[in-house]
Amino acid sequence: MLNEYLKQKLDGESLLLMTHCVVGYPSLDANWRMLACMQKAGVSLVELQLPFSEPIADGPVFVKANQAALKQGLRWHEYFDFMAKAAREFDIPLLFMGYYNSVFCMGQDNFCERLKTAGAHGYIIADLPPEEATELDNHAQSQGLDSIHLMTPTSTDARLKDIARNASGFIYCVARKGVTGSKTELDAGISRYIERCRAVTQLPVALGFGIKTPEDISILKGHVDIAIIGTACLEAWEHGGEGKYMQFLQSLHQATLA
């Protein structure tokens, strides 16, 4: 599980980076090169997204990527095979990211077994409320997997406590309402929200949705433990290929050290 890994990493670094990859887009070969860049640049965690036809938490960039991966024929077994290969090759802990429909169709026990066999450390299910996740979380615990729960700015303090109760690994704080991709203003409101999240959990706190630049990373230092960058990384790849992608990742990691 992630507890010891994150504790050790945070003993030496004040802010960790988590990045994102839609498996199958633009291709599995490109995904492999992305992961190689991530490891070289010092990324600490990676979400591997299983493409889904209706990714309701994702903005236009990721929706397009999901649709393209499905159109190209990516199937579940290819996703898990890719994850297993990546887990053997790279040192970065890998997390499943996806939607509950996929988990339901596989069966919760089968899903957790496949994740464990593929070398995953846990999962992020974007559309599964914590009160409906108990059975899946129990299956995950039996397999030594972490269930990453999401908190949102609109949640009451009581709701945040409920979300934290069965979470493990770390807490994913969604920076704002809406979908991924749009720029988030990192202002005093975000700081108060993060303080509310920290008050209900001892787990490391991550912030995602709209984190796009090294300047954003610098602002987050001292407030959260993990910065999550997804859309901006994929945009760097689309606009400049592997070279631009690597430069962007390096700039993000440098900002965590400055």
> Domain with 180 in it: what CATH number?
3.20.20.70
SS in 3 state form for 48-108? EECCCCCCCCCCHHHHHHHHHHHHCCCCHHHHHHHHHHHHHHCCCCEEEEECHHHHHHHCH
The one catalytic residue in 13, 47, 89, 238 is: 47
**Distance between CA atoms of 185 and 181, rounded to whole angstroms?**
13
Contact 79, 24 (CB under 8 A): yes
**Distance between CA atoms of 108 and 41, rounded to whole angstroms?**
34
Contact 201, 167 (CB under 8 A): yes
State pLDDT tens for residues 30-65: 999 999 999 999 999 999 999 998 887 777 898 999
Distances (CA, A) of 47 to 50, 95, 103, 194, 258: 9, 5, 16, 21, 25
Q: How many CA atoms lie within 13 A of 163 on its CB side?
A: 28
Please give the average per-residue pLDDT across 104-108, as a whole number: 96
Q: What is the pLDDT of residue 54?
A: 82
Distances (CA, A) of 3 to 6, 53, 66, 122, 143: 5, 33, 30, 11, 15
Query: Would you call 58 a catalytic residue per the annotation?
Result: yes
Q: What is the pLDDT of residue 180?
A: 47
Number of folded domains that form the chain: 1
State pLDDT tens for residues 169-184: 999 999 854 344 444 4
Q: How many CA atoms lie within 13 A of 252 on its CB side?
A: 30
Neighbouring residues of 103: CB distance < 8 A, sequence distance ≥ 6: 111, 125, 128, 136
Structural domain harbouring 118: 2-257
| Count of Cβ atoms closer than 10 Å to residue 166 Cβ | 17
Q: What is the pLDDT of residue 184?
A: 47
Contact 197, 204 (CB under 8 A): no
The one catalytic residue in 11, 58, 131, 185 is: 58
Distances (CA, A) of 125 to 55, 98, 133: 11, 5, 9
Query: Would you call 91 a catalytic residue per the annotation?
Result: no
State pLDDT tens for residues 152-208: 999 999 999 999 998 999 999 998 543 444 444 565 678 899 999 999 999 999 999
Contact 75, 105 (CB under 8 A): no
Q: How confident is the model at residue 210 (pLDDT cuts 50, 70, 90)?
A: confident
Q: What is the pLDDT of residue 68?
A: 95
Chain centroid, CA 101 distance in Å: 18
> Residue 201 — left, alpha, or beta (φ > 0 → left; ψ -120 to 50 → alpha)?
beta
Q: What is the pLDDT of residue 177?
A: 43
Chain centroid, CA 63 distance in Å: 16
